[in-house]
Amino acid sequence: MKQYDVVIAGGAMAGATLAIALDKLGGGRLRIAVVEAVEPKLDRHPGYDARSIALSLGSAQLLDTIGCWTALAGVATAISQIHVSDRGHAGIVHLDAREQAVEALGYVVELADAGRIFHHKLAKLDQVDLFCPARIAEIERHQQGIELVLDNGEQLHSRLVVAADGAQSSVCDMLGLGRSEHDFAQVAVIANVTTEEAHQGRAFERFTPQGPVALLPMSEGRSSLVWCIRPGDQAEVMGWNDETFLVKLQQAFGWRLGRLSQTGVRHAYPLLLRQSQRLISHRVAVVGNAAQTLHPIAGQGFNLGLRDVMSLAEEVCREWDQTGDAGHIRGLSSYRQRREPDRGATVDMTAGLVGVFANDCMPFVAGRNLGLMAMECVDVLKAPLVQRAMGQVDR
């Protein structure tokens, strides 16, 4: 039976980042295993598909502390401005990096690029073993550790197991941690589009009666599209040819980037809020999408998950320095206490935005547009939005 300080279930963004953070902050002294079900054929990996992620400035700074940002910066597109608007109404908020005296409000990275970089970094860490393809088939907890049996027959013993295996975490299910779900009654259509006018680093979040439309700046003049629609419209939208799709998208988004001229392959995902009912259990912690999966509105998902990862890594390394036990309840309790306020505030904000902007009742419409206009004119009202967009939040 192989002995580890930490076994991480899941080797996509959250799991890979956690392994790197634990190795860096622990000075290469912790024995770490990453158990990943899918071989890293990056064009096929469900965690590294055609989607892009929005990294806040705060997330870029966190990644820099563990030596990951330099490589990612080479494939990242800077967000210089963010436009938030309500289609058909006057309310608009404009955020500008220059006004905040920063080089960028955030960055956009394609998951395929991120996957390649993180897997390359993992392969170079002497104290990290990658079991792939493999799944955790059995878990047996004891007072001083956890015994794991993988589906390939490998047996591992660890002081701590971290569930980083996605929104429908099998580790959380095996341990009975519980999960709540809320269906937003929306489907996200994902594609990369090319616009007639250069995006110049501008990101757009436009609210429509069907759901938000977001365009994030990408390399080669492209923009990453997230178009939220009603589930009943999914078959029709996915069945359109490219020309019809671009015409309909133009009607929803508008002309701020000129004519939408080209689109890539489309994917569609149902949108649900999923939350693990517990962030910790005996010798177990939950991070990333396994802890919570958010609506893509405001692009908070990976940024929240990264704050989980970094907070857990700090607490585990601090406890290991003091006791030699990476899974000690004191460190896990500190992790939970640190994460609950940020987690609750971010979940409430994203779910609240969906509810407010999906409501066509005139008092709601008038109120949200007055709020947007006031926010644009009064810096003190805009400040919380700026801090959240830039990832400058306590963790």
pLDDT at 378 over 70: no
Q: What is the pLDDT of residue 94?
A: 85
Domain 2-49+111-181+274-357 and domain 184-271 have a common topology:
no
Q: What is the pLDDT of residues 176-209, one digit of tens each?
A: 999 999 999 999 999 999 999 999 999 998 888 7
Percent above pLDDT 70 for the chain: 88
Q: How would DSSP label each residue in 188-241?
A: EEEEEEEESS--TTEEEEEEETTEEEEEEE-GGGEEEEEEEE-GGGHHHHHHS-
Q: What is the pLDDT of residues 71-102, one digit of tens each?
A: 999 999 999 999 888 765 545 788 899 999 99
Q: H helices then E strands: how many in the chain?
A: 11, 20
Going from N- to C-terminal start, the domains of the chain cover 2-49+111-181+274-357, 184-271
Strand partners, 81: 96, 202
pLDDT at 342 over 80: yes
Q: Tell me what the mean pLDDT of segment 323-332 comes to.
A: 97
Tokens of 275: 């939350």
Output DSSP code: residue 26: T
Q: Out of 3.50.50.60, 3.40.50.10490, 3.30.70.3420, 3.40.50.300, which CATH number does the structure's domain 2-49+111-181+274-357 have?
A: 3.50.50.60
- Tell how strand 2-9 and strand 32-35 pair up: parallel
Q: How does residue 363 score in pLDDT terms, banded at 50, 70 and 90?
A: very low
Q: Tell me what the mean pLDDT of segment 335-340 comes to.
A: 97
pLDDT at 349 over 90: no
CA 268, 273, 279: angle at the middle one, nearest 5?
A: 130
Q: How does residue 367 score in pLDDT terms, banded at 50, 70 and 90?
A: low
- Tell how strand 202-208 and strand 81-86 pair up: parallel
Widest distance between CA atoms in the chain: 64
Mean pLDDT of the chain: 89
- Helix, strand, or coil here: 267? strand
Q: How does residue 255 score in pLDDT terms, banded at 50, 70 and 90?
A: very high
- For the domain spanning 184-271, the CATH number is 3.30.9.10
pLDDT at 335 over 70: yes
In this prediction the pTM is: 0.91
Q: Are 250 and 215 in contact (CB under 8 A)?
A: no
